[in-house]
Amino acid sequence: MTRQPNILFVMMDQLAPQVLKPYGGTVCRTPRLERLAADGVVFENAYCNYPICAPSRFGFMSGRMPSRIGAYDNASELPSEIPTFVHHLRTMGYRTCLSGKMHFIGADQLHGFEDRVTTDVYPSDFSWTTDWSLGPTHWTPWYHSMRAVLDAGPWRRSVNTNYDEEVAVEACRWLHDHADRVDGKPFFLAASFIGPHDPYLAPPSHWELYTDDEIDDPRVDDIPLDERDPHSRRLYYTTGRHMDEIGPGDIRRARRAYYAVMSWLDDRIGRVLDTLEAIGAKDDTIVVVSADHGDMLGERGLWFKMGFHEWSVRVPMIVHAPGLYRPRRVKENVSLLDLFPTFLEWAGDGRMPELFAPIDGGGLASLAGGGVEGWPDTAYSEYCGEGTESPVLMVRRGRWKYIHCDDDPPLLYDLAADPDELTNLAGREAVGDVEADLDAEVHRQWDPADLKERVLESQRRRKFLHAALAIGRRSPWDWSPIRDASREYVRDESDVQGIYGAGRSDKRR
């Protein structure tokens, strides 16, 4: 690449990397993603920094741990004064666009993006504010429920597939429009899909690509409620498991639908990749594939996310840039926070611009190229949402994962020897030094008691504001894509000369 590279960021919602063949999956078929991984850099141990949607996204957009910018749950605002990597890319000469979900809360629905070509799929107000005063096992209808599992199967259409079809169409349209400008500017495009997030409703065409018999069962069976760690026990109620019975057939259908949605999404991603080739940008574009968090998919009897077991907190991270990196697999621990400086490293040819706020991530450019010296091999994640009354905090360092909550006994797993996290080593003398070191790291990164007070204060404020703004005339913050039909297609005689558009691909005059 001889100039600033274009960057295409393909993001999924609630995609557990374990289902993908590049990460050891054996059933789910995603040929376009598999091709990107085969020719790219696969980060084997990438983590989200918060295992639900909005705070995770605010973290990688800002390069900061979510709690440091007040992002505590799915109804927290991303403050407009927080610089995102998109702001920096604009100052570095990039044209920036968001097609799809980013779950911004508040009046600022751009946060640096010059173009936003779809609306969002979820509320942009404070309606989904967590309320710890209700208790850690409280369930309310807007939480997840087992209906997502029990209703899984082929569906002619759904909100999610409708939305993701629009994401793909608008991303491709924007790429063509960008190419037609012929101004030489590089682009950053985020194509951010809601799939394979529950409900697990699969297009019939892709449901039929699979059979029930080939669907794999969870690696770890349902763990009895009284044998679960305290947070997993609370999530039994928070996700509505106490209201519905889930059988082996239900699990298999949900996993089949999840795989089918991913195959359907792979086709949409393929359209975007084909558009890169059609506009002549394939060789000048770095493609990054990731997700905001994973999905337990029945592992350990758990569903969705909200915890720190591997299927919930790990994410795929694939970098396809054949002009920069040879194919390789990276075992070191990384996180979504590391994307902020990485994008800027690529845009600045290794030189970082002046940052006007601190960031917590480290650039991955050297690591992607095989340079591991000095990498801290540590990832952090946190959770302050439903199903707890105190922050739940995670450190992954080397082979070890440590989980702390002031209300619970600690958890310590050796993921090299115990990848399914079946044996809690906390309290064992043989690993006492490891536990003490990781506990000290938790308290170096966070002040759990202070964080709890800040969370509670924020919850009280937002609950009040939401109630007040529901009185009288409402002024929604939801994003409406800006389109002026008077300037589209053919509107007067002067437009006729441009009726063919600017998309000619041959050299004839």
CATH code for the domain of 306 = 3.40.720.10
Listed in order, strand segments (DSSP E) in 181-245 are 187-196, 201-202
Among candidates 484, 462, 308, which has minimal Cα distance to 381?
Answer: 308
The answer to whether position 488 is within a domain reads no
The structure's pTM equals 0.95
Q: Tell how strand 41-47 and strand 314-315 pair up.
A: antiparallel
Q: Which of 53, 97, 172, 384 is catalytic?
A: 53
- CA gap 112, 295 in Å, rounded: 29
Question: H helices then E strands: how many in the chain?
Answer: 13, 15
Task: Specify whether 206 is catalytic.
Answer: no
- CA distances (Å), 47 to each of 33, 271, 377, 416, in order? 19, 27, 12, 16
pLDDT attached to residue 493:
64
What pLDDT shows up at residue 95? 98
For helices 31-38 and 248-278, what crossing angle results, to 10°? 60
- CB environment 230-252: b (16+ within 10 A), e (fewer): ebbbbbbbbbbbeeeebeeebbb
> For 94-145, where are the alpha helices, taking DSSP H only?
none
Picking from 208, 226, 262, 250, the residue whose alpha carbon sits closest to that of residue 28 is 262
Residue pointed to by tokens 């404020």: 461
3-state DSSP call for residue 431? helix
Q: What pLDDT is attached to residue 496? A: 54
SS3 at position 435: helix
Question: Is residue 67 one of the residues assigned to a domain?
Answer: yes
Task: Answer whether residue 320 is part of any domain.
Answer: yes
Q: In this structure, is residue 143 part of a structural domain?
A: yes
Hey, what's the torsion of the CAs at 70, 72, 75, 79, to 10 degrees?
A: 20
| Cβ atoms < 10 Å from Cβ of 98 | 31
Residue with tokens 């506009």: 279
- The one-letter code for the residue type at 212 is D
Half-sphere exposure of 95 (CA within 13 A, CB side): 13
- pLDDT given at position 190: 98
**Could you give the count of Cα atoms lying within 13 Å of 426 in the half-sphere of its Cβ?**
15
Q: Answer yes or no: 172 catalytic.
A: no
Task: Single out the residue of 195, 192, 191, 190 nearest to residue 160, CA to CA.
Answer: 195
| The two structure tokens encoding residue 410 | 């600690």
Q: Which residues pair with 159 in a beta bridge?
A: none
Q: CA geometry: angle at 208 spanning 204 and 212, to 5°?
A: 120
The C-alpha atoms of residue 43 and residue 375 are separated, in whole angstroms, by 14
Question: Within a domain: residue 490?
Answer: no
Q: Quickly tell me which residue has 């990164």 as its tokens.
A: 445
The total number of structural domains in the chain stands at 1
Contact (CB, 8 A) for 119 and 481: yes
Q: CB burial class (10 A; 0-12, 13-18, 19+) of residue 418?
A: middle
HSE of 175, CA atoms in CB hemisphere, 13 A: 27
Check 87, 88, 103, 197 and give the catalytic one. Answer: 103
Token pair, residue 234, equals: 């609370």
For residue 142, the tally of other CB atoms under 10 A from its CB is 11
Kindly report the number of other CB atoms within 10 A of residue 420's CB atom: 15
Q: Which two tokens stand for residue 386?
A: 């439903």
Q: Does residue 435 belong to any structural domain of this protein?
A: no
Rg of the Cα atoms in the chain: 23
Q: Phi/psi at 26 (nearest 5 deg)? A: -120, -10
Residue 503 pLDDT = 59
Assign 408 to helix, strand or coil: coil
Mean pLDDT by 10 residues, the chain (509 residues): 87 98 98 98 98 98 98 97 98 98 97 97 96 93 90 96 98 97 94 97 97 96 95 96 94 98 98 98 97 98 97 98 95 98 95 94 95 94 97 98 98 98 98 98 98 98 97 95 84 60 51
Q: Of 52, 65, 21, give the one whose Cα is nearest residue 361.
A: 65
Residue 77 is encoded by which pair of tokens? 């605002």
d(CA 78, CA 484): 28
Burial environment of residue 284 by CB neighbours within 10 A (0 to 12, 13 to 18, 19 or more): middle
What is the DSSP secondary-structure string of 298-320? TGGG--SSSS-SHHHHEE-EEEE
What is the predicted pLDDT for the residue at 98?
98
Residue 109 domain boundaries? 6-379
Asked if residue 53 lies in contact with residue 340, where contact means CB atoms within 8 angstroms, the answer is no
